Structure 1
Amino acid sequence: MKLTSLLATMALSLPVAGAGPVQAQTLNAAVGMGPKSSSYIAYEGFADYIAQNSDLKIKVFSMSLLSMKETAPGIRDGLADLGFVVPVYYPAEYAETVLAANLSMLSTSGTKVQSPGAAMAGAMTEFIFNCPDCLAEYKTQNQVYLGSVSSHGYDLLCTQPVTTLDDLKGLKLRSPGGNYSRWAEHHGAIAVSMPASDTYEALSQGVIDCHMASVSDLSDHSLFDVVTHVTPGVPGGAFAGVATSNFNTDVWRDLTAEQRRVVLRGAARMQAEMTLGYFNLAQKDLAAAPAAEVEILSPDAALVASTDAFVADDLAVIGAQFSRDYGVAEVETKIATLSALVEKWKGLTADHAMDPAALEQVYWDEIFAKIDPEAYGLD
C-alpha cells in the first residue's frame, strides 16, 4: 500500500502526455480612466506587447478595479499588480515627483516646440530614474517606478478673445492650481478653483471667462458648445504628475530579468503612445475648431515674453514651497537639473511630434535601455 501510494504521488507530479501548456502568469493593471481614453487604449497596447514578447499577461481594468485616487495605495497594498499612478494626489508622499511636475511650465517657455508634452515626459522620466530621493519615495510606498507621461500644453479656452496683457486684466480664469493661479494673478486676472467637470456650466453662465487646460477639453468636456476663442501657448505648462506603470515591489521582484526587460521596453512604448495620444486629441480639436465657430488666436509678443519671465521667476517660489512645506532637500539643484533636461528633451523630441515609433525609440535609447533589469528595483 505504501508503494502504491508513492507511485500515485510520483504520477501526479509528472507532466501528463498531451496536456496543454502551463498558463502564463497574469498581472492585474489598474487604470482609473474610461475605456475610450487615450491612456486606457495605450495600456491595452502595452498589455498586447507584453503578451507577444514574454510569457506574461496583463489584464487591464478600466476604473473597475481601483479609482484614480485609489491606485497608488492599491498598488502599495497589493490590490493591483501595477497601474496608472497620479502622485500629485499625494504631495506629501511623493514630494520629489510633485516638485518636478510643478515645473511643467518650462516645457512651453523659452524654446517653443510642437509637442511640449513629449519633451516633458522625457525630462520627467530621465529625472526620476536618476533621482535617488524620488525612487526612495516610491520604494517607501512599495512601488517600482517605470516612467511618466504628460498632457499636451495648456491653453486659454475662453468666451472672449484674449491675445494681450490688457485682455487678461480682470478676467476670471479657472485654474488647475499652484503656478497657474499665480500666473493669472501676476497678469491681473482672478484665479478660480473648481473641478474641470464644472467648467461647462461655469463658462456658459459667466462664472468664469476662461478655462486653463489642454485644448482637447473642447471635446473631452463638451466645451465646443460654450467656448468661442482659444489662445494656444499661454499660460503653457502641462499636466505631468503621472507615473504610467508603477509596479508593486514584490510583484516586480518575482519577475525574471528577461520579463523585466520586456516590461521596460513596453513601458517606453506606452509612454510614447500615451503622450502622443494626448497630443493627437489636442490637434484634432484644433482642426475642428473653425467648423464649431471657435476662433484660434495667437498671443502677442508681449504676453509671450511676460509669461516666459513669470516662469523663470516662479522657479524660486516653487523651490521655497517644496523646501518649506515638504522638506525637499537641494531644491535649487533639482530644479536646475530638470530645467536642463527639459531643454535637452525639446531637442530630442522636436522631430517626433507625430511619430510614435520614433518617439518610443528615443525614450528607449536615452532612458529605458540604460535601466538594468538585473538590478533595478531589487534593492
Structure 2
Amino acid sequence: MQLIRRVWQGLTACAVVGALLLGAGVAEARDLRYAMGFPSGSDSDKAGQAYAAAVKDLSKGDLKVRVYPLSLLNFAETSAGLRDGMADMGYLLAPYFPAEYPHFNLLAESSMQLLTMDERVRGREGMAYVGALSEFVFTKCPECQAEFAQQNQVFTGPAASSPYYLNCNKPVRNEQELKGKRLRVAGSHWSRWARAMGAQPVTMSSNEALEALKQGVVDCVVVSIPELTNLGLIEAVSDVTVDVPGGIFAGTGVTQVNSKVWKGLSTEQRQVLLRAGTVMPAYIPFVYHQREKEILEQVRQRGGKVHEADPALLQKTRDFARQDMQTIVEYFAKTHGVQRGDEMLAQFRPVLEKWVLLVQDVGSREELAEVYWNEVFSKVDAGSYGL
C-alpha cells in the first residue's frame, strides 16, 4: 500500500508541475502545415522556405513550418481551407474573396495611387506598400482584424509584388490596340481600368491564367513581370507592355495562421512567428523588383518583344488612377458595406508616404526585414494579439 501511495503521490506531483508549466505559457513543439498556391521553385516558394528556416532557427527547433507549394491548397481554396483547418497556415490572396475581406481589399486595391506619387517610389513600390500595409492593418484597421477573425485566421504579415503590366500574346501598346481585348485581372481596380480603356476584364485564378492565354480565352494577363516565370506564363507571352496599368498586388496575407492553431501556441512561439513574419514580406517585393530586368531579357531571348506604353495611354492611366480613389470608396461602400473608406484612405496616404522614405536606402531583403521589424512587427504584443 505504501508503495502504491508513493507512486500515486509522484504522479500527482508530475501532473501539478505539468499544469504549472502549461499555465506559464509553455507549449509543445509544433509542426505547422503551410499551404501556398505557387508552384515549387517559384520566388514565393523560395520565400516560404526562407520563412520556414527562420521559424526553426528562432524557435531553436521548437516550432517548424512545412511548406506545401501548390499541393495542399491552391489559391482559390486557401481561404476556406485555412478557415476549416485543412492547413495551419496559408498564403491568402484576399482579392479572390472580395466579400470576405472588403476593408483589407480596399487598402490593397488603392495601390494605383502609387502612380500619382513622386519618382522616389519607382522601383520600390512593393517594399513601401508592404511597410505601410503592415503598419496600418496591425494598428489602424480593426475592421481588417475582424474580417480575418471571422474567417478563423490571424494576420501576421502581408506581401506585395512589383508593378503589374500587360503580358500578352500580341502587341498591345496603345488604346486602339487595347480595345476589345480580354484581360485577365486580379482586382476590381484593374477591372475598372480595363473598361475605361475599352478592354474587357476577365476574372480567374492565376493558376488558370497560362491555359487561358494559350487557348486564346484571354489576350493578356495583367501580372507583375516575375510571375512570367513563377507561373510559367512566359511560355505563352509574346509581347510585354511596361508601365500600364501599374499598381501592385498587395492583397496578400502571406502567412495567415488558423486562429485555433495560433491560440494553441505559447507566447514565445507566437513571438517567433511575428519575428520570422518579416522574412516573406521583405523577400517577395525585394526579389520581385530585382528580377524584372532579368525576366524581360528572357522574354526577348525567346523571341518576344518588350514595348513601352504609348504616352497617351500612360497619361490616361495616370488620370484614371487619380479619379479612381473616390470610385474605390464608393464601390466598397455600395458593394460590401464599407462605411469609412474615405477616412481609411485619408489615414493611409501619409503612412504610405512615410514608408516611401523609409525604404529608400534599403539594399538587401535582410535590411528590409529589419526595417519592418523595428518599425512595426516588434511592437505587436504576442501575449494578446489575435487572442
Tell whether 2:362 aligns with 1:359: no
CA deviations 1:259-298 (Å, max 9, x no partner) are 3322211101221123334334544312322222222222
The one of 295, 300, 312 aligned to 1:285: 295
Give the corresponding residue for 1:155.
Answer: 165
Q: Distance between the aligned counterparts of 2:274 and 2:356, measured in 1?
A: 23
Q: Distance between the aligned counterparts of 1:154 and 1:341, measured in 2?
A: 22
Q: How does 1:230-269 map to 2 (within 5 A)?
A: 230-269=240-279
CA RMSD of aligned residues (A): 2.9
Structure 2, unpaired ranges of 5+: 15-25
The one of 102, 108, 113 aligned to 2:109: 102
For structure 1, which segment, 292-301 or 121-130, has the greater mean C-alpha deviation from structure 2 after superposition?
Answer: 292-301
Q: How does 1:1-379 map to 2 (within 5 A)?
A: 2-9=1-8, 25-33=29-37, 34-55=39-60, 56-62=62-68, 63-112=70-119, 113-130=122-139, 131-196=141-206, 199-200=209-210, 203=213, 208-352=218-362, 355-378=364-387
Q: Distance between the aligned counterparts of 2:170 and 2:63, measured in 1?
A: 50
Q: Distance between the aligned counterparts of 1:227 and 1:49, measured in 2?
A: 36
1:142: Cα distance to partner?
Answer: 3.0
Give the corresponding residue for 2:17.
Answer: none
1:194: Cα distance to partner?
Answer: 4.8
Contact 1:94 1:138 (8 Å CA) reproduced: yes
For structure 1, which segment, 328-337 or 215-224, has the greater mean C-alpha deviation from structure 2 after superposition?
Answer: 215-224
Per the alignment, do residues 189 and 88 of structure 1 end up closer, same or farther by CA in structure 2, a change over 3 Å counting? Answer: closer
Q: Distance between the aligned counterparts of 1:74 and 1:209, measured in 2?
A: 31
1:6: Cα distance to partner?
Answer: 3.1
1:59: Cα distance to partner?
Answer: 3.1
Contact 2:27 2:266 (8 Å CA) reproduced: no
Q: Distance between the aligned counterparts of 1:193 and 1:84, measured in 2?
A: 19
SS at match of 1:211: strand
Q: Distance between the aligned counterparts of 2:100 and 2:382, measured in 1?
A: 26
Contact 1:147 1:245 (8 Å CA) reproduced: yes
For structure 1, which segment, 248-257 or 287-296, has the greater mean C-alpha deviation from structure 2 after superposition?
Answer: 248-257
Q: Distance between the aligned counterparts of 1:46 and 1:215, measured in 2?
A: 23
Per the alignment, do residues 10 and 336 of structure 1 end up closer, same or farther by CA in structure 2, a change over 3 Å counting? Answer: same
Give the corresponding residue for 2:20.
Answer: none
1:376: Cα distance to partner?
Answer: 2.1
Q: Distance between the aligned counterparts of 1:259 and 1:205, measured in 2?
A: 47
1:174: Cα distance to partner?
Answer: 3.1
Contact 2:32 2:64 (8 Å CA) reproduced: yes
SS at match of 1:103: helix
1:66: Cα distance to partner?
Answer: 4.0
For structure 1, which segment, 282-291 or 322-331, has the greater mean C-alpha deviation from structure 2 after superposition?
Answer: 282-291
1:202: Cα distance to partner?
Answer: 5.1
Counterpart code for 2:2: L
Give the corresponding residue for 2:21.
Answer: none
Taking structure 1 as the reference length, the TM-score comes to 0.85
Give the corresponding residue for 1:18.
Answer: none
1:208: Cα distance to partner?
Answer: 4.2
Per the alignment, do residues 168 and 251 of structure 1 end up closer, same or farther by CA in structure 2, a change over 3 Å counting? Answer: closer
Counterpart code for 1:369: S
Counterpart code for 1:38: D
Counterpart code for 2:223: A
Contact 1:160 1:229 (8 Å CA) reproduced: yes
Per the alignment, do residues 256 and 218 of structure 1 end up closer, same or farther by CA in structure 2, a change over 3 Å counting? Answer: closer
For structure 1, which segment, 328-337 or 225-234, has the greater mean C-alpha deviation from structure 2 after superposition?
Answer: 225-234
1:87: Cα distance to partner?
Answer: 2.7
Contact 2:101 2:148 (8 Å CA) reproduced: yes
1:356: Cα distance to partner?
Answer: 0.4
Per the alignment, do residues 305 and 90 of structure 1 end up closer, same or farther by CA in structure 2, a change over 3 Å counting? Answer: same
1:42: Cα distance to partner?
Answer: 2.0
Q: Distance between the aligned counterparts of 1:68 and 1:212, measured in 2?
A: 17
Q: Distance between the aligned counterparts of 1:208 and 1:90, measured in 2?
A: 21
Q: Distance between the aligned counterparts of 1:27 and 1:201, measured in 2?
A: 35
CA deviations 1:311-345 (Å, max 9, x no partner) are 11112222112111211121111122233333332
Taking structure 2 as the reference length, the TM-score comes to 0.84
Give the corresponding residue for 1:19.
Answer: none
CA deviations 1:140-190 (Å, max 9, x no partner) are 333221111112211112344444444434444333352222212212333
Contact 1:200 1:222 (8 Å CA) reproduced: yes
SS at match of 1:102: helix
1:81: Cα distance to partner?
Answer: 3.2
